[in-house]
Amino acid sequence: AIDLQKGEKVLDIGCGWGRLAKHFVEKYGADVTGVTLSSEQRKYALELNKGNGAKILLQDAMKMHLRDDIPKGGFDKITALEMAEHVGIR
């Protein structure tokens, strides 16, 4: 449990098809940025989250610090649901 509160900024690493981002935005009112390495997943996630405010980026999470469009002050919560299962633990 991440005790998500309305308006908190969430980074969802490996957001996949965007369902967790959708859930966080619509149920909790969170400000969600999802990152994926898959252009197909990003395309689907953008459509799924159309109009709800979630941002879905085609981005290597390890290079987020290079972006100039991340929330000022960073993120309140970071999720990486099932990433270990998909890419392994390094």
- In contact, 82 and 15? CB cutoff 8 Å: no
Side-by-side strand order, sheet with 9-13? 55-58, 31-36, 9-13, 77-79
More confident residue, 86 or 31: 31
Confidence of residue 90 (pLDDT cuts 50, 70, 90): low
Q: What would the mean pLDDT of 20-48 be, rounded to a whole number?
A: 97
pLDDT > 90: percent of the chain: 84
pTM metric for this prediction: 0.89
Dihedral sign of CA atoms 8, 14, 43, 71 in order: positive
Please report the pLDDT score of residue 83 as a whole number.
57
Confidence of residue 1 (pLDDT cuts 50, 70, 90): confident
Residue 39: other Cβ atoms inside 10 A: 9
